[in-house]
Amino acid sequence: MPQHTLVSLFGAVFVAIAFTVCDYLLLDDIIPNLGPSWAAYDLLKAVVALCVAAAIVASIYADGQAVRRADAPDVARPGPVLLSHVLASLFVLLFLISPTAFNWLGSEDNVVEYLSALFGVVGAAFFAGVVLAAWHLPDGSPNRRLTLVFAALCALALFLLGMEEISWGQRLFGFGTPESFTANRQGEVNLHNFFTTPIHTVYRLGSWAVLILLPFLVTFGPRFRLFDTFHNFLPPRWIAAMSAPVACFNYNTWPFFPTQVVVLSSLLMMAVFWRQALRDRQRTAALTFFAALILMLFAQTTFLVLGDRFVRHWDVTEYQEFFMAFGLAAVGWAAWARVRERHVARDMTTSPRF
C-alpha cells in the first residue's frame, strides 16, 4: 500500500484548501488572478509550497523503492522533446525582446491559439485511432472494452477542448452568437467562458497531472493496480520532459498555491529523472531531463522577475495552453502507437505461414 504517497497527496490537498481560504480572506478571491507579490504572506506560501512539493516527490520515490521495478527504457522520442524545448526557448526570448510581439502572437485568432486548437483535434484523432485499433482486437483481449470506452471519452474530450479554443470556428466562419451564449465572459460560442477561471484551473492542473506527475508516478512510484488496467494510456517518461513548459509558463496564476506546488514539484521531478538517467548511464535521457530542468528555471525566473512587462498579465497562459494541447496530443499518439503495436503483433502471430 503506497502509504507515504497517499498521505503526502492528501496533505497537499488539505494545505491547498487552507491557503485558498486564506486567499479569500486576505485577497478576496478564491483563485487569485494576479502577478506575484513578495509580502511576508506570499513568501510563507512559497516556503510551504516547496515543503509540500518535496514531500510529494520524496514520498512517491520512497514508496517506489519499496517495490522497485525494472528501470524504464531510455527516452525513445527525443524529436518531440527537442521541438517543445526549442519552441519554449524561442517564446521566452520573444518575450524578452518584445513583450508586444509576445502578446500579438498569443492573441486570439493568431498562431498560438490556432495551433492549440489543432493539437486538440489531432490528439482526438489519435485517440479515435486507438478506438479503431482496439475494435479489431479479439473479444477476449484483456481490457478491450475498457480501452474502447476510455479512448472514445479521451477523443471526445480533446475534440471539445480544441473546438472550444477557437469558439467552434465562430470567428473563422463569421456566424453570430446565439442569445443563450451571450451571457458568457466573452460573448462567444463556447462553454468554458461561463466559468472561465475555475474551468481553466481544472484544465491546467489536470494537464499537469497527466503530462508530468503521472509519468513520474509510473517510473518511480509504487505499483497501482490501475496502472495495469490502463497500461495502454500511461504516458511514457519522455512526455514529462516534453511538457516541462506546462509547469513554468505562468505569471498571473503564481499567487494560487497549487501553481507553486506544480512548479516546484516539477523541478524536483525533472531533477530525479536526470539523476536516475545519469546513474543508469542513459546519456540521451540525462541530457533531455537536464535541458528540461534548465528550461524551467530560465522560463519561470524570467516571467516572475520581468512579468510587469506583459501587455496583459495573463498573456503567458495562452502559451501554456499551447504546450498542454501539444502534450496531450503526444499522449494520444503514444497510446495509439502502443495499441497498434499490439494489433500488428496479433496479426503476425495469427497469420498463416507458408
- Extents of the domains making up the chain: 3-350
- Say how many residues make up the chain: 354
How many angstroms separate the CA atoms of 144 and 131, rounded?
Answer: 10
**Most trustworthy range by pLDDT among 167-176, 190-199, 325-334:** 325-334
* Mean pLDDT lowest among 60-64, 169-173, 307-311: 169-173
**pLDDT for 115:** 94
Mean pLDDT of 152-157: 95
Evaluate if residue 243 carries a pLDDT over 70.
Answer: yes
Evaluate if residue 176 carries a pLDDT over 70.
Answer: no
**pLDDT for 62:** 87
Mean pLDDT of 36-52: 90
pLDDT band at 20 (very low <50, low <70, confident <90, very high): confident
Evaluate if residue 260 carries a pLDDT over 80.
Answer: yes
Mean pLDDT of 32-44: 84
**pLDDT for 38:** 84
pLDDT band at 175 (very low <50, low <70, confident <90, very high): low
**pLDDT for 159:** 93
Evaluate if residue 76 carries a pLDDT over 70.
Answer: no
Torsion over CA: 296, 301, 304, 306 (sign): negative
* Mean pLDDT lowest among 52-66, 67-81, 154-168, 339-353: 339-353
How many angstroms separate the CA atoms of 214 and 236, rounded?
Answer: 9
Mean pLDDT of 286-312: 95
* Three-state secondary structure call for residue 250: coil
Which has more pLDDT, 3 or 106?
A: 106
Mean pLDDT of 63-83: 67
Cα 221 to Cα 9, 50, 134, 283, distances in angstroms: 13, 20, 28, 22
How many angstroms separate the CA atoms of 4 and 2, rounded?
Answer: 6
In this structure, what DSSP letter does residue 310 have? -
| Contact between residue 312 and residue 101 where contact means Cβ atoms under 8 Å apart | no
Evaluate if residue 148 carries a pLDDT over 80.
Answer: yes
Place of cell 497549487: 258
pLDDT band at 351 (very low <50, low <70, confident <90, very high): very low
**pLDDT for 155:** 96
Cα 31 to Cα 3, 19, 25, 202, 241, distances in angstroms: 30, 10, 12, 11, 28
- Mean pLDDT for all residues in the chain: 85
How many angstroms separate the CA atoms of 261 and 26, rounded?
Answer: 20
Count other C-beta atoms under 10 Å from residue 192's C-beta: 21
Note the helical H segments in the chain.
3-27, 40-66, 78-97, 99-105, 111-135, 144-165, 170-173, 196-208, 214-220, 225-229, 237-242, 244-248, 257-279, 283-306, 315-350
How many angstroms separate the CA atoms of 60 and 151, rounded?
Answer: 27
pLDDT band at 72 (very low <50, low <70, confident <90, very high): very low
Mean pLDDT of 126-130: 94
pLDDT band at 345 (very low <50, low <70, confident <90, very high): low
Burial label, 352 (beta-carbon count in 10 A; 0-12, 13-18, 19+)? exposed
How many angstroms separate the CA atoms of 231 and 83, rounded?
Answer: 26
Q: Percent of the chain beyond pLDDT 90?
A: 50
How many angstroms separate the CA atoms of 153 and 131, rounded?
Answer: 10
Residue 41 backbone zone (phi > 0: left; psi -120 to 50: alpha; other: beta): alpha
